[in-house]
Amino acid sequence: MMHHDSDLPFPHHCLAIKDFSKEHISHILTTANQYILSDGYHIKTSKELEGITIANLFFEPSTRTRTAFEIAAIKLGATAINLNVEQSATHKGESLLDTIRNLEAMLCDIFVIRHALSGAAHFVAKHLSPQTHIINAGDGLHAHPSQALLDMLTIKRHQKPFHQLSVAIVGDIKHSRVARSQIHALRTLDVPDIRLVGPKTLLPDTHNYDKVSCHYSLSSGIKDADVIIMLRLQKERMMDACIPSDTEYASFFRLTQDQLKLAAPDAIVLHPGPINHGIEIDYSVANSCQSLILKQVTYGIAIRMAIFSLIINQPVIATEPVTTQDTHLYV
Ligand code: CP
């Protein structure tokens, strides 16, 4: 059984980074670190969640997130099921809430939900019984908290302390739920220099945020940065034509070996995946010794184990209702 600090109440759900304090995030990172063996690669197994049933409900495609949640559940001794959305009764008109209520009636304890609509996980959390836990695995443009947490774990394990870091997030930040969650996490962890890098059409409005600056050129944005997080163009969420072409975007914002030399000498390169090689990042950079992209994927299992463990070990208390306005928190 993992050690949990009983003095630190933990949220009942994992819906968005903004629900976590600095102490919560630190606690998740410490707990996740305890699941990683000393070789830095293998992950512990335990029976901590024996008897718990975890349901993965992915209404959008996923390779990393869905699989990592499933492996995390198995490693903790839980039962994991994956609803095949394509074959489910949602295609006969059943609502999201009815689908989940039926699975709840089959005694599922935790739901991991990915949905194209911002606020979907919050909506479900508001309507289920108080003992059920919801984990947001990505909702529209809004949030992808477990991805941001695994990114923070990667930074914590491979870089200076957060309060000394310059972090550049490069690419289509406007349409990225990952970037939004990363920015919340980096600010909560007191990172003093957070740079958003990309063409104006792909950067969000940041006037409400201190510590966050915008850079419209890759070379100025990554200069002396300790961490470079590359993002893909999220065409499935672009309403308008935001860039002239992939080729033109790549000519200005693709991370090449030469560009990487502008960053701090020990800079690390992250990418949440999936990668579009040759558009946002060169294959040689993604596979260089400065790239921790596959480490992120491995750490993603430990982070999901920590999330399961921390939310399930909380007393059953009905949380404050979440308003729909809360679900539209854009940077
Ligand atoms: N990073 C991420 O969310 O990847 P998947 O879409 O494969 O889950």
The pair of structure tokens assigned to 48 is 């901590």
Res 323 pLDDT > 50 = no
Res 60 pLDDT > 50 = yes
- The confidence band for 319, taking pLDDT boundaries of 50, 70 and 90, is very low
- Span from the CA of 294 to the centroid of ligand 1 (angstroms): 12
- Span from the CA of 147 to the centroid of ligand 1 (angstroms): 8
147 CB less than 6 Å from ligand 1? Answer: yes
* Preceding amide of 272 cis, omega within 30: no
Residue 36, classified by CB atoms within 10 Å of its CB into exposed (0-12), middle (13-18) or buried (19+), is: buried
| Residue bearing tokens 């305890």 | 34
Residue 234: per-residue pLDDT: 81
Residue 197: per-residue pLDDT: 97
Res 318 pLDDT > 80 = no
**Residue closest to 214 by CA, chosen among 173, 257, 272:** 173
Calculate the average pLDDT of the chain: 91
| Residue bearing tokens 């003095």 | 7
Nearest alpha carbon, ligand 1 atom 1: 272
Indicate the range of 70-79, 194-203, 239-248 predicted with least confidence: 239-248
Q: Enumerate the H helices of the chain as residue ranges.
A: 22-35, 64-75, 96-105, 120-127, 145-158, 177-188, 218-222, 246-253, 257-260, 283-286, 293-312
Mean pLDDT of 210-229: 95
- The confidence band for 210, taking pLDDT boundaries of 50, 70 and 90, is confident
Res 30 pLDDT > 60 = yes
pTM for this predicted structure:
0.91
* Distance (Å, whole) CA 180 – CA 190: 16
- Span from the CA of 177 to the centroid of ligand 1 (angstroms): 11
* Distance (Å, whole) CA 122 – CA 101: 15
62 CB less than 6 Å from ligand 1? Answer: yes
Res 11 pLDDT > 60 = yes
273 CB less than 6 Å from ligand 1? Answer: yes
Res 329 pLDDT > 50 = no
Res 4 pLDDT > 80 = no
Nearest alpha carbon, ligand 1 atom 6: 62
Res 309 pLDDT > 80 = yes
Res 237 pLDDT > 90 = no
Indicate the range of 94-108, 130-144, 240-254 predicted with least confidence: 240-254
Mean pLDDT of 106-111: 97
- The confidence band for 89, taking pLDDT boundaries of 50, 70 and 90, is confident
